[in-house]
């Protein structure tokens, strides 16, 4: 950085290695639009308060507006020697409009400037992510509505447990995503305060109208403490924390798609558009997109850890370490964005195999709980009923039978309460329909859940 850029304090040019090491414009140019918008709001406020003239403010706003178009068109020449996005924009503005451009930075510091830019960028990234979550939720709602009659085993410990509807399982994924969306919007609400006016750390002597600047940029209010405003990045920790949980949920969905698309399960066939082949095995159809969603989760969680380690021992207020907050934040949002879109494509185009799911219900003794419940409803203490059902499962294992294949006499050998009605209770559809509590897999409940999800999506559209 030359003396021309920084004023009279320095006699030497910055060492070339130090300049390269400290430059951030290769990644923070992504904040250019937010930086321009923040500068326009700032200079308009300065003019309203009489800190700069109306003519200078008009020239600055016009110049910044032209720069914004230039940046959007990809025509802005970024100079690493100017270190960051802020100095690149201010220097180019001054070259274009002359002396007035030098007045833009009155009453602010790059410290409150970048804190504002990052809040604006993160707020918009959260809004975009929420929309993409809603898109995936819409796909899940559609697929759930199509699959009320697809019955499959629900699993615990990856062991077949009890029968459920495929729509119920898809809606479980939707519930996780709804909470992810809520966490992101909670983070958005907390970050929506404007740091401008905090300057380097202690505010400024100029008579700024911080409320006006905050309102112009869509913030709820100015930040309350200037040291905290420029020296904290917990809003990024919270946002990337929410992204990390979302990425973990997406990984769980992806893992089930990988399992279900295996020949051992064969519950789903992924479309050609979201699978790949093998370089050596012609028969392979690999669920690579789901696997990559699963794999990229570590990347997002790693960014959260990186940010935490970045901030863990920094004294107030701003420290240059905080320049390193941007790459992990940008990449975390990018990765979750792409993962959401890829999974939406995977699920929208997948084919679920109803017959294969039904076949899986015939093995694994998923009716065992129905036996215990049936006995308990007839006065047998549940713990005793549980033991009876367990003995019947053991009998089936030894005889190579399923529970519905046992005769009434065989059932009565374990408990005299059994009668012919037990066989109806062993039907998977019957078992599911008996679970008609709120949040359960009975058809009416699942249909209501799909309708409620669609209503929420319509309200948010």
**Catalytic (active-site) positions:** 157, 278
Nearest to 150 by CA among 340, 338, 327, 360: 360
Gap between the Cα atoms of 289 and 291, Å rounded = 5
């Amino acid at each position: 950085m030359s003396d021309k850029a920084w004023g009279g304090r320095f006699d030497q040019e910055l060492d070339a290695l130090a300049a390269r090491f400290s430059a951030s414009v290769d990644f923070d140019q992504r904040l250019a639009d937010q930086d321009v918008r923040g500068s326009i709001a700032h200079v308009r406020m300065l003019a309203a308060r009489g800190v700069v003239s109306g003519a200078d403010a008009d020239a600055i706003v016009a110049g910044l507006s032209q720069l914004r178009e230039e940046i959007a068109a990809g025509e802005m020449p970024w100079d690493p020697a100017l270190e960051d996005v802020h100095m690149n924009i201010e220097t180019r503005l001054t070259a274009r409009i002359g002396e007035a451009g030098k007045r833009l930075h009155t009453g602010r510091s790059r410290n409150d400037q970048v804190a504002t830019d990052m809040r604006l960028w993160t707020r918009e990234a959260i809004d975009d992510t929420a929309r993409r979550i809603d898109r995936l939720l819409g796909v899940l709602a559609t697929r759930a509505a199509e699959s009320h009659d697809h019955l499959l085993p629900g699993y615990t410990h990856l062991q077949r447990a009890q029968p459920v509807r495929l729509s119920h399982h898809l809606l479980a994924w939707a519930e996780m995503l709804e909470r992810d969306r809520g966490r992101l919007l909670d983070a958005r609400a907390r970050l929506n305060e404007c740091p401008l006016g905090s300057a380097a750390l202690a505010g400024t002597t100029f008579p700024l109208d911080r409320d006006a600047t905050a309102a112009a940029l869509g913030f709820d209010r100015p930040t309350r403490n200037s040291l905290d405003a420029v020296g904290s990045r917990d809003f990024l920790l919270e946002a990337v924390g929410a992204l990390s949980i979302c990425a973990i949920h997406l990984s769980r969905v992806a893992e089930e798609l990988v399992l279900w698309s295996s020949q051992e399960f064969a519950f789903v066939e992924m479309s050609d558009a979201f699978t790949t082949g093998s370089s050596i095995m012609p028969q392979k159809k690999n669920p690579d997109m789901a696997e990559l969603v699963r794999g990229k989760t570590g990347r997002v969680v790693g960014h959260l850890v990186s940010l935490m380690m970045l901030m863990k021992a920094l004294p107030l207020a701003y420290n240059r370490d905080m320049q390193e907050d941007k790459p992990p934040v940008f990449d975390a949002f990018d990765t979750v964005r792409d993962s959401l879109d890829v999974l939406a494509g995977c699920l929208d185009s997948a084919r679920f195999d109803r017959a294969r799911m039904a076949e899986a219900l015939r093995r694994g003794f998923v009716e065992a709980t129905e036996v215990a419940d049936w006995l308990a409803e007839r006065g047998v203490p549940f713990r005793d009923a549980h033991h009876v059902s367990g003995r019947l499962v053991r009998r089936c294992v030894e005889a190579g039978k399923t529970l519905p294949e046992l005769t009434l006499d065989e059932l009565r050998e374990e408990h005299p309460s059994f009668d012919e009605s037990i066989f109806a209770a062993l039907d998977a559809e019957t078992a599911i329909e008996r679970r008609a509590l709120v949040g359960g897999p009975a058809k009416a409940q699942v249909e209501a859940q799909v309708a409620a999800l669609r209503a929420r999506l319509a309200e948010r559209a």
